[in-house]
Structures are given as C-alpha cells and as structure tokens.
C-alpha cells in the first residue's frame, strides 16, 4: 500500500540528498533526454485543422493496413467464434453481419472499433487486463465462448491512468497474451501457474538484467513501498536508486517533478527490463551499464516493436489531462478539472490534442522540444524560435521567446529554466524560416508517459488536506535537496511546451513555457473516450471498460460516461456522444452500472422509427442538446459512435475481489489471479436480467449469465457498419438491442 505515510517518512529520512557529483547510473543516463537537430520546422508542428481535422499520415497508414490486411483476417476469426456461439444457441446471425465480417468487406465498410480502458490504479489495470483477455482470440476460453477475437479486430486501444499501465505495457511488450502480460511470459497460465516461481525474468535478454526483456507486472511488489519484508533499509536503497535515475534529466536542465520519480517506479512494473531477480539488485543498478529498469524505452520506440510494425496491435493511445498554467497551476486545483481543459494524447507517432482549442501535434519522438517554427502556418507567433531557447539541453537553459533570446546557462549546468525568456526577440527573428530551434529526443520515455497519465498526486494533496502529512510529503524535501535549481510545483508533470504561440486565441497555454500535465482521469472521464470521438478517426463503436472507483465501495456509477457526454456537448463542434442519463443517480437507479449496456442504439438509423430513446440528456450542463433523440437526418448532426459499456460490478454469489482501493498497489500472484478470474466472469456473463438469460436459466439452472451475450456483443460491434449499408437491424440482433440498449 502506498498509504503508509509514517513508514515512508521514516524511509525518506534515511535517504541522503543525492549530490550532483554522484556518477550517473545506466538508468539515469538512459532517462536523460538529448539534444537533436530539428527537422524542417515547417513540418515540425502539425496543425490538425480546426473544422475538418486530419490524422497523421502514419496513423492513417497503420489503420488502413489493419482494415485492408491484418484486420480482415482478424474479423474472420472473430466471426467464426461468434458463429459457433450462435450455433450453440440455435440462432442464426443476420446475413449482413456474416457478409461484413467474412472477408468481402474492407476499409471503411468494416466496423471501426476502439477499446477504451479506464483508470482506477492497479485494480483497473488488472480488471481491464481480464476484460481484454475475454476479447482475445488467443484465449481458448474466450474464443470458445464467442467473445474472443474482438481485441485483434479493434483498431484502437486507449488507456488512461491505471488503464495506461495496461495499454502501455501491452504495447511495448510486443502484444503478448494478457496472462503473459500480467504474470510474465514464464508464468502465463491463468490456471494456477501464477504461483510458480518467478524465474521467467530474462525473457528478452538471457542475462537477466537487460534493456529488452519483458517479465510481467511484478505486482507482488508495491510501487512506493515494494520491500516484501518491509525492510526500511531496502526501502531506502530502493528510493535512492529511483531518485538517482532522474538526476541526469534534472541536471540537463529539464523540469523534473514527482512524475519523474513515479515514472521510474512504474517502469519497474510496466516496462521491459525488470524482473523479480533484479528488482532489489542495487549493486548492478548502481554499477552496471546494463541494468536500466526500462529507462531509455521510448513511446515513439514502439514503432520498432515487431508486432507494431506488422500493424498487429490495436493502435495504442494514452491520455493525459492538463491544468492550464495560465489559470491555476498550483496543485490545489479543484477537481474534477474543467471539462474544457485540453486533453492530450500520446500515440507512438504524435503527441498533441485534437481538442479544438489546440488541434496540433508534434512527433512523439521530439517531445520536450521547444523549437517553434511554423513559417507559412500563419499560426505561430514571431520569435519563438530562439536558437538557445529550450529548457536547456546540456545547460542551454531558458525557454527563449526571442530569436536571439535565451542567454542560457553554460553548458553542463543545471538549466535555469526560464532563463531564455528574457530574450525579447530584439532581432525579431520570425522563427521558423531560418531557425531550426532546439529539439530533444529521449523525453518521451514510456515510463514517463504512463506516469503522466497516472499523475494523480496533485489530487491527493487536495483530498488528503495537508501535503506534508500525505504520503508524498516526505518526498518533497528530497526532491528539493536533490534538485536545488528546480522551482516548480513537484506534484505536476512537466513537458516543455512545443505549442507556444500556437492558437493564441484559444489555447490557454499558448504563452506558457511548459505544459502542466496531470492524471488522465482528473476530469472524471475515467474511461478515456476522447481520442475515440475524434471525427477524423471515424470510430463507430467504442467498447468501454469501466473499473473506476466512483462509489464508496470502488465501483463505477456511470460518472465516466456522463462526463464524456457532457464534454462532447460542451465541444459539440468537434465531438458527439450518444444520449446517456443525466446523472449518476439516474444511471444507478436504472441499474446501468450492473450490466453491459449499449448507448446510441438509435442514433444512426432514421429517427422516424419509433424507438426514440428517452429524454436522457447528455449533460448536467445547460449547453446540451435537450432531448437525447437520434438525429433526424444526417446532414448536420454527426452520428455518434455506439458505446458498449461494461462496468465492474460485484457478482451475486461471489466474494467481491475486483473493487480493491485505487491505492492498493500490490497483489500477490494468487490474488491477482483471483481478481482476473472474477473480472473475466464479469466481462463474459452479459446481462443476467435479459430475457435470454431468464429463458436459458429456466431450461438450464445456474447458468452464469446470458448465453447470447457473445452474439449480442457482435450485433453491437457491427451495427454502425450495418446502418452504413442502409440495411435494417434484424433477427437476433433486433432482439439483442431490445435487451441491451439504454432506453
């Protein structure tokens, strides 16, 4: 548990401030960003368009390769599993479904499915791993049931906070099976092998401690307090090693914060390079040039993972929220943060936001660069392109808002942050045409990306009252002592702001030298819908797995989906979302948090058909379209995606295991296995209150759920593709929608 602040205070007090002279460890070196030459600055920032947005060419090509190639095969496998499930129930699939998925359709005719997995700490990561397993063609159980295969067929996989750990680790590990992901390749069986010894460590390297190997989540060790025997000396050594690893970045003049420490902690669980054998190996961590605990693994580096290169993973996206540095940059921000705050995404190709206030991207590999060209773009301000202007690579400190600005500090000294800002553009260099600015690489560490997405420490400050008495209190003096030149609020995450000068009129951080980033769930959109609502992505079905802990007992109550709808309503020019209940109370009263629900069932077909959804509005705000009816025509209102909502829920006859605290950060293997088993049951049982389930139960008592759930799921998955063809929903799918739709 990370809540034991007294113990941590003791541990921290044992750690000496780390002197700058200390030789850097392999991890520290690998975690330090480096200067790089900038590409042609006119192409450096991609403006995604205000009205008709565009995707990056790389993403387009990734998705199109999936829908034309790999994906077609994946859909056929999925269809086969669904057909078997249908046959077992003596039902016939609608002809349109069979035709769509059997290989005759490709490209835009196919369903375009995005999976979104919620935050909620290790609970959510584990729960959602089981949900993905239930959709995985490689799981014999899921394939046999008829739900397996959707994971392979989906185009996108989006994670936030604890969900980002799942998405990040899955993708960077090369898309192993979910049991392999959680327990490590050698301990992968979901039926008992999890308790075997953790000797699988050297999967990727052979020598145990290497940059490449993946060995599972190591979730037997806690995050901040991993020592299995509670040995405070081991704890102190552990923290010293972790904190030392951000030394190089700090010395390079980059803003560091607790998010960096968090990154180095999470790396030991969700990034290649750590196993049970080297977890507490501080000798090699200090002295070996090999043991980097995942430092140096970059989010942009996913493009060199073979399954990614083969377009054989759903396209991974990680979501991060922002606190505007212009408005409220302190950690005492009220939560949830405002819905209109910019939501950023990290995909392997790009970092940025499709939110209309920014709508701009940079290459993920150049995260942290402040070069700001843009001649010809008409949107960048002049003079932001100071040669010396970034937050010091090797000490060229400063954030130079001036062509000649940024009298940075001497090379090698800790960057003095904003030093360059006083350049004031005396020569008026119209940044961009000539300047290449200063670029960095190595900032987009996978561990840092997932740490930003789960950077909820500013909220702890708020909910626990006094920072000093919170579990992080003791870390602050340590950070201060170790990085004396840092002067930021250590509870926020920092990325030098490449978007300075972009979209001045609408982007709240257009003048800020850094982006201040926080947990992707702090806007209460615990399920990260936003990237899947981007119209240019054309996602037509979102499978949303929600293990957020909205209630006292750590179950969801619909807040995620209601928040997503409210945000879409607030930014209705950019996003649309199906009708949902107007409050969590209504959501719970309708028991929509108890079972899988489809939202938006009637949003795509002509609304003249009778089944108008109820008047559930999309928002508690007044700005929402009033009654949540389906659009009456297709000319103006875009069709929102259909949302398949799967909530975490207690099972009637089991001891609840899937609702551990968000702050529980360690599970013994047997516990993780039990949680996964229960979550798998939740994901595969369907709506036990459905007519199908009642019928089946009458014939065969003690069925775990709705035997038609796999078929109904496939109906939802293919429904927008059906509507595109102008065909009516029919057969078992019409019956499924009677049972599963919100109405």
- What is the contact surface with ligand NAG in residues (CB under 6 A)? 40, 42-43, 51-52, 64-65, 68, 89-90, 106-107, 172-174, 203-210, 212-214, 272, 281-284, 286-287, 297, 301, 305, 381-382, 387-388, 396, 407-408, 422, 424, 428, 430
Minimum CB separation of residue 113 from ligand NAG in Å reads: 17
Distance CA 287, CA 428 (A): 48
Whether the CB-CB separation of 539 and 311 falls below 8 Å is answered with no
Q: Tokens 């089946």 belong to which residue? A: 696
What three-state secondary structure class fits 351? strand
Beta strand ranges found along 105-249 (DSSP E): 113-117, 156-160
Distance CA 478, CA 494 (A): 18
Minimum CB separation of residue 87 from ligand NAG in Å reads: 9
Minimum CB separation of residue 436 from ligand NAG in Å reads: 9
For the four alpha carbons of 211, 70, 528 and 379, in that order, the dihedral sign comes to positive
Distance CA 151, CA 128 (A): 12
Q: Which residues pair with 545 in a beta bridge?
A: 117, 646
Minimum CB separation of residue 538 from ligand NAG in Å reads: 13
Distance CA 542, CA 540 (A): 7
Distance CA 312, CA 314 (A): 7
DSSP state of 157: E
What three-state secondary structure class fits 281? coil
Distance CA 498, CA 641 (A): 32
Minimum CB separation of residue 321 from ligand NAG in Å reads: 26
Nearer to ligand NAG, 114 or 373 (CB): 373
Distance CA 158, CA 182 (A): 18
Nearer to ligand NAG, 608 or 700 (CB): 700
Nearer to ligand NAG, 385 or 678 (CB): 385
Minimum CB separation of residue 626 from ligand NAG in Å reads: 26
Nearer to ligand NAG, 301 or 417 (CB): 301
Nearer to ligand NAG, 51 or 552 (CB): 51
DSSP state of 193: G
Nearer to ligand NAG, 50 or 615 (CB): 50
Nearer to ligand NAG, 290 or 462 (CB): 290
Minimum CB separation of residue 644 from ligand NAG in Å reads: 24
Nearer to ligand NAG, 488 or 535 (CB): 535
> Which residues fall within 8 angstroms of residue 673, CB to CB, at 6 or more apart?
183, 190, 192, 194, 195
Nearer to ligand NAG, 203 or 592 (CB): 203
Minimum CB separation of residue 106 from ligand NAG in Å reads: 5
In the complex, residue closest to ligand NAG by CB: 107
Minimum CB separation of residue 80 from ligand NAG in Å reads: 19
Distance CA 240, CA 482 (A): 11
> Which residues fall within 8 angstroms of residue 222, CB to CB, at 6 or more apart?
1, 2, 665, 666
Minimum CB separation of residue 457 from ligand NAG in Å reads: 27
Minimum CB separation of residue 89 from ligand NAG in Å reads: 5
What three-state secondary structure class fits 142? helix
Q: Which string of DSSP letters, residue by residue, matches 488-520?
A: S-TTSEEEE-TTTTTTTTT-TTTT-SEEEEE-T
CA end-to-end distance (rounded Å), the chain: 41
Return the ∠ at Cα 543 (arms to 692 and 127), rounded to 5°: 90
Minimum CB separation of residue 388 from ligand NAG in Å reads: 4
Whether the CB-CB separation of 131 and 184 falls below 8 Å is answered with no
Minimum CB separation of residue 233 from ligand NAG in Å reads: 13
Which tokens is 286 given? 């200090």
Minimum CB separation of residue 611 from ligand NAG in Å reads: 27
Nearer to ligand NAG, 209 or 648 (CB): 209
Distance CA 428, CA 41 (A): 17
Exposed, middle or buried, 329 (CB in 10 Å: 0-12/13-18/19+)? middle
Kindly list the distances between the CA atom of residue 201 and the CA atoms of 214, 231, 503, in Å, as whole numbers in the listed order.
7, 23, 48
Nearer to ligand NAG, 402 or 531 (CB): 402
Minimum CB separation of residue 61 from ligand NAG in Å reads: 6
Query: Would you state the torsion angle of the CA atoms of residues 699, 703, 707, 710, taken in this order, to the nearest 10 degrees?
Result: 180
Nearer to ligand NAG, 86 or 584 (CB): 86
Q: Which of 553, 500, 493, 543 is nearest to 517 (CA)?
A: 493
Helix H or strand E encompassing 692: helix 691-699
Nearer to ligand NAG, 236 or 544 (CB): 236
Nearer to ligand NAG, 173 or 657 (CB): 173
Nearer to ligand NAG, 105 or 544 (CB): 105
Which tokens is 193 given? 């092998």
For the four alpha carbons of 441, 348, 184 and 519, in that order, the dihedral sign comes to positive
Distance CA 680, CA 673 (A): 10
Minimum CB separation of residue 218 from ligand NAG in Å reads: 14
Distance CA 556, CA 576 (A): 22
Nearer to ligand NAG, 396 or 454 (CB): 396
Kindly report the three-state secondary structure assignment for every residue of 11-56.
HHHHCCCCCCCCCCCHHHHHHCCEEECCCCHHHCCEECCCCCCCCC
Minimum CB separation of residue 18 from ligand NAG in Å reads: 13
Nearer to ligand NAG, 536 or 651 (CB): 536
């Amino acid at each position: 548990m990370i809540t034991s602040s007294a113990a941590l205070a003791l541990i921290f007090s044992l750690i000496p401030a780390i002197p700058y002279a200390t030789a850097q460890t392999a991890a520290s070196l690998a975690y330090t960003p480096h200067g790089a030459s900038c590409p042609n600055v006119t192409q450096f920032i991609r403006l995604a368009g205000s009205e008709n947005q565009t995707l990056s060419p790389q993403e387009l090509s990734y998705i199109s390769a999936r829908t034309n190639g790999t994906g077609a095969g994946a859909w056929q496998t999925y269809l086969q599993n669904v057909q078997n499930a249908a046959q077992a129930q003596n039902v016939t699939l609608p002809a349109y479904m069979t035709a769509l998925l059997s290989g005759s359709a490709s490209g835009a005719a196919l369903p375009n499915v995005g999976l979104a997995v919620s935050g909620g700490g290790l609970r959510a990561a584990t729960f959602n791993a089981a949900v993905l397993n239930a959709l995985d063609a490689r799981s014999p159980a899921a394939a046999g049931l008829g739900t397996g295969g959707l994971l392979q067929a989906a185009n996108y996989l989006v994670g936030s906070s604890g969900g980002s750990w799942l998405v990040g680790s899955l993708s960077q590990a090369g898309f192993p099976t979910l049991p392999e992901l959680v327990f490590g390749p050698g301990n992968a069986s979901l039926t008992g092998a999890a308790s075997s010894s953790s000797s699988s460590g050297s999967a990727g390297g052979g020598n145990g401690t290497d940059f490449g190997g993946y060995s599972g989540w190591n979730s037997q060790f806690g995050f901040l307090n991993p020592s299995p025997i509670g040995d405070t000396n081991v704890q102190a050594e552990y923290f010293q090693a972790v904190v030392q690893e951000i030394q190089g970045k700090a010395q390079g003049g980059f803003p560091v914060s607790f998010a960096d420490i968090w990154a180095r902690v999470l790396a030991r669980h969700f990034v290649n390079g750590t196993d049970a054998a080297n977890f507490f190996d501080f000798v090699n961590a200090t002295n070996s040039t090999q043991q980097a605990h995942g430092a140096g693994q970059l989010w942009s580096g996913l493009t060199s993972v073979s399954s990614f290169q083969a377009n054989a993973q759903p396209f991974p996206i990680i979501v991060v929220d922002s606190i505007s540095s212009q408005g409220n940059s302190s950690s005492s921000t009220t939560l949830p943060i405002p819905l209109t705050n910019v939501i950023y995404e990290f995909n392997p190709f790009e970092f940025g936001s499709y939110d209309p206030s920014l709508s701009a991207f940079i290459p993920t590999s150049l995260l942290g660069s402040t070069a700001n060209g843009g001649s010809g773009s008409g949107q960048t301000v002049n003079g932001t392109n100071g040669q010396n202007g970034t937050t010091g690579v090797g000490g060229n400190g400063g954030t130079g808002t001036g062509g000649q600005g940024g009298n940075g500090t001497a090379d090698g000294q800790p960057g003095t942050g904003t030093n360059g800002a006083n350049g004031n553009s005396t020569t008026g260099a119209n940044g961009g045409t000539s300047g290449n600015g200063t670029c960095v690489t190595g900032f987009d560490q996978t561990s840092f990306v997932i740490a930003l997405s789960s950077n909820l420490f500013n909220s702890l400050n708020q909910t626990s009252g006094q920072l000093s008495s919170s579990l992080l209190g003791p870390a602050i003096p340590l950070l201060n002592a170790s990085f004396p030149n840092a002067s930021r609020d250590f509870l926020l995450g920092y990325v030098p702001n490449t978007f300075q000068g972009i979209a001045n009129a609408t982007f709240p951080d257009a003048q800020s030298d850094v982006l201040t980033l926080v947990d992707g769930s702090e806007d209460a959109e615990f399920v990260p819908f936003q990237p899947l609502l981007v119209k240019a992505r054309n996602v037509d079905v979102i499978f949303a797995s929600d293990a957020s802990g909205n209630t006292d007992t750590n179950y969801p109550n619909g807040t995620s989906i209601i928040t997503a709808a409210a945000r879409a309503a607030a930014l209705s020019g950019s996003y649309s979302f199906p009708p949902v209940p107007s409050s969590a109370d209504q959501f719970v009263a309708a028991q929509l948090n108890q079972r899988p629900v489809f939202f938006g069932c009637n949003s795509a077909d002509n609304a003249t058909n009778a089944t108008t959804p109820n008047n559930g509005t999309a928002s508690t705000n007044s700005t929402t379209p009033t009654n949540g009816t389906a659009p009456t025509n297709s000319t103006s209102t875009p069709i929102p995606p259909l949302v398949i909502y799967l909530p975490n829920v207690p099972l009637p006859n089991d001891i609840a295991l899937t609702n551990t605290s968000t702050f529980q950060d360690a599970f013994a293997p047997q516990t993780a296995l039990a949680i996964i088993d229960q979550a798998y049951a939740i994901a595969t049982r369907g709506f036990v209150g459905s007519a199908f389930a009642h019928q089946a139960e009458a014939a065969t008592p003690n069925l775990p759920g709705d035997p038609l759930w796999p078929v109904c799921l496939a109906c939802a998955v293919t429904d927008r593709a059906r509507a595109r063809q102008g065909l009516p929903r029919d057969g078992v799918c019409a019956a499924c929608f009677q049972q599963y739709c919100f109405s």
